[in-house]
Amino acid sequence: MDNKEGLMWFEYAENDFETAKILSIQVKPKLEIVCYHCQQCAEKIEYYHMQNAISDADQIKEFVFSKLIDFEQLQ
């Protein structure tokens, strides 16, 4: 995988996460849809990792934990 394709998957993951955040703050959030987008984000980050776009597991943890902190601030 070239770097461009790797970045594409990373951007898709970020889009899924942003969608989950937006949906979670609705008046009556559909939590199953929020969870779906979080799961999709995780899958795309894993795919990104498996294709060696991220070679260091610590980078993945750093990304995920930074996003979890963002998500907790919404609650």
Confidence of residue 9 (pLDDT cuts 50, 70, 90): confident
pLDDT recorded at residue 8: 85
Confidence of residue 6 (pLDDT cuts 50, 70, 90): confident
Per-residue pLDDT reduced to its tens digit, 21-43: 999 999 999 999 999 999 999 88
Biggest CA–CA distance in the chain, Å, is 41
pTM: 0.66
Contacts of 74 (CB under 8 A, 6+ apart): 21, 24, 25
**Distance separating alpha carbons of residues 60 and 6, to the nearest angstrom:** 13
